[in-house]
Structure 1
Amino acid sequence: MNLKKPIVLLAMLILSASISIAQELPSQEEIMDQMVLTNKHLMEKWPDPGVNVITNRERSSNLWTRAVYYEGLMALYGLKKDKAYYDYAVKWGESHNWDLRNGTQTRHADNHCAGQTYIQLYQIDPKPERIEHIQASIDAMLETYKINDWDWIDALQMAMPVFAQLTSLTGDAKYSERMYEMYMDTKVTQGLFNEEDDLWWRDKDFLPPYEEPNGNDCNWSRGNGWVVAAMVRTLEFLPQDDPHRFEYVQMLQRMLKSVLTVQRTDGFWNVSLHDPTHFEGKETSGTALFLYGMAWGVNNGLLEKEVYMPAITKAWNAISTEAIHDNGFLGYLQGTGKEPKDGQPVTYTSKPDFEDYGLGCFLLAGTEMYKLVGKE
């Protein structure tokens, strides 16, 4: 057998793919323009970031959906030091007295999500009140032996980065050690990670024998996207010498290798990863979260560029050319929920119950794309 021929062919394919990618990648200016546009749409819709959010009922604006948006806004501010962005985030924190939804006594991950931005704003201007409540809430959790709070996978993105941030901020590994214990409880004790598929079940309601219509497991796109984001943000904030970093790196790599195989040809991911016909169609939030993880992984040398760049390019172009309206509104965004059927129908013009978290996901993806294109 002639071994040289396949090797030469493979090299040609990689070269061809590289040329194609280089032609298809947007410019940094284009990426920034779309982030600015979509962010402007939300800031103009909510000029007062402290006002309560009213959908099916009234909620304070430090809820998780808005907190995820501020994750994205702070990432954008990291690239574009627009004082309006900083002031908007500070006004949000001040309007809630830097407290958490349902108060400092809360153990709920959704309520802790706001703390990610509070801590980042504290690092910019270390006013004690900015971290007083989030640190007190986490400290109260550490005074107990309870570690099974995170019984749904969205919780990992909402809360894990806070524990990592507090370790970096204080130098005390008690936060990162408790985070690891809680993460492993979710993964192993509660059994929400599927070792066979390298994907997660959203919560115990979706463990086998639960099936999608085609007989496969229910691997919800955005739910798995939240875990991808959790790994990225935890690794970003966690000290480099943390003894559990490899677990999070390996989880990110395993998951992204798995979702790479089920990307749609148009660049999006379906709401159901292993049943493409179950509420089939484009979906922005899960796609943005997978894009965020892949772009961050390539930027940080954890993913092979030649393997992931085609998927990254397709995903960015799909969102940027098909989902963004001229006024900055994001289409194809699934509303809140926990499975493929929730928040349907998902279309270009459909309006989700909350639009803020989708923008947060897009801004996180966009900032990593901006960095990636800059390296090109």
Structure 2
Amino acid sequence: MKKILFFIAGILLFLSCSMHKADSVFAPGTIRQTMNKVAEWQIKNPRHAPNDWTNGAFYAGLFAAWETTKSQTIYDAMMAMGNDSTQWRPYKRWYHADDIAICQTYIDLYRIEKHQEMIQPTIDTLAILFENPYPYKGIQVIKWWWCDALFMAPPVLAKLGTTLNDPTYYQYNDQYFKECYDLLYNKDEKLFARDLNYVIKGDTTDRWEANGQRIFWSRGNGWVMGGLARLLEELPEDYPERPFYEQLFKEMAGRVLSLQQEDGLWRASLLDPDSYPGGEVSGSGFFCYAFAWGVNNGLLDSKTYKPAIEKCWEALNNCVNEEGRVGWVQPIGADPRKNFDENSWEVYGTGAFLLAGSEVIKLR
């Protein structure tokens, strides 16, 4: 009898510890502590030019972390990036969405500091973008022909339009966004192809997965959903084109929800998870962020999406090591990859984690 009682007690203790561990990652104090640890590790371990697209995603997450924790260390790092490293300039290419991604953070900081030099280079660069075609080997192509661009650029245009009270920026965004949507969005699958090379007609084998499904990249679609959340955060409620973005957001959310794996994460390739056994943190982090933002802002049903968010957030926390490094991040590339593990990290993976935390903490 004693053995049975000890066995039952052991089971109850195990369940209690497991539940406590799971619950603890949702405690507001724990989320803030983890976000600060992750942010500070990444600040101490920089990678890439500070104003390129990878850091555009990281600093978007860093600003969200500062809004959540009010860490002076985080705020000082962002200001040092603008004042000392980049002089508040976009990266090298005026025509490329990737190179203005960092401007999201410039505009956010400008709203606090109110120094015109923090946004003037962004204003000047966008003026050139609006007036000139995309220079591509003498062939005119649309401005945003790859799905990642929908995270990089639309929030910049919307943030600037809101900040300057100038709807012209919204209108340019509508034009460029819908061109990309028409090119890359698969209305049957409710997912975006990575870029124009994945929608050209033909039977090229590298555009198909081993199971015969089309390639739809987890992180690429994560970029889109994260960008939609950041865009909708800025657009006025009565803006005429807002319903288009809201409908797209909800449509994609439903499809992405159906593709979440048992461990709470998504695989690098959304439609062929068996070929990519490891959960991929950057795409999963953006999905977690978008879902939580959607619930917090009334676009997604809490009862339907909150279990998926909680499952993902717990899994994401299991991918953070004791130092605060976020692992299981697919390296830079233009398609799903298999060569990543717990030691694989990238600054955009950290940015996605911080964005997710900034919304998970608000869930009720």
> Where do 1:38-117 residues align within 5 Å?
38-46=38-46, 53=47, 60-94=49-83, 95-102=85-92, 106-117=94-105
Residue equivalent to 1:346: 340
- The number of equivalent residue pairs is 331
Unaligned runs of 5+ in 2: 1-18, 135-140
Partners of 2:130 and 2:342 in 1: CA distance: 44
Residue equivalent to 1:204: 196
Q: RMSD of aligned C-alpha atoms?
A: 1.7
Deviations 1:290-344 (A, max 9, x none): 1001100000011011111111111011111x20101111111111112112xx4
Cα distance, 1:235 vs structure 2: 0.6
- Tell me, yes or no, if structure 1 residue 327 matches structure 2 residue 323: yes
Compare 166-175 and 151-160 and name the one that shifted more: 166-175
Residue equivalent to 2:154: 160
Contact 2:36 2:69 in 1 (8 A): no
Residue equivalent to 2:229: 232
Cα distance, 1:262 vs structure 2: 1.0
Residue equivalent to 2:169: 175
Contact 1:70 1:360 in 2 (8 A): yes
SS at match of 1:34: helix
Contact 2:216 2:271 in 1 (8 A): yes
- Tell me, yes or no, if structure 1 residue 371 matches structure 2 residue 362: yes
SS at match of 2:275: coil
Q: TM-score by structure 1 length?
A: 0.85
SS at match of 1:243: coil
Cα distance, 1:239 vs structure 2: 2.1
Letter in 2 for 1:126: K
- Tell me, yes or no, if structure 1 residue 223 matches structure 2 residue 213: no
Cα distance, 1:164 vs structure 2: 0.3
Residue equivalent to 2:126: 138
Residue equivalent to 1:32: 32
Partners of 1:345 and 1:107 in 2: CA distance: 31
Letter in 2 for 1:234: L
Contact 1:324 1:330 in 2 (8 A): yes
Cα distance, 1:171 vs structure 2: 1.4
Cα distance, 1:280 vs structure 2: 2.5
Counterpart pick for 2:239 among 218, 226, 242: 242
Cα distance, 1:85 vs structure 2: 1.4
Partners of 2:123 and 2:43 in 1: CA distance: 28
SS at match of 1:358: helix
Partners of 1:250 and 1:29 in 2: CA distance: 34
Q: TM-score by structure 2 length?
A: 0.87
Counterpart pick for 1:185 among 179, 189, 192: 179
Contact 1:278 1:340 in 2 (8 A): no
Cα distance, 1:137 vs structure 2: 0.8
Deviations 1:82-126 (A, max 9, x none): 2221111111011211111116xx110011001101111111011
SS at match of 2:197: helix
Residue equivalent to 1:253: 250
> Where do 1:284-295 residues align within 5 Å?
284-295=281-292
Letter in 2 for 1:330: V
Partners of 2:322 and 2:283 in 1: CA distance: 22
Cα distance, 1:145 vs structure 2: 6.5
Partners of 1:60 and 1:230 in 2: CA distance: 22
Letter in 1 for 2:41: H
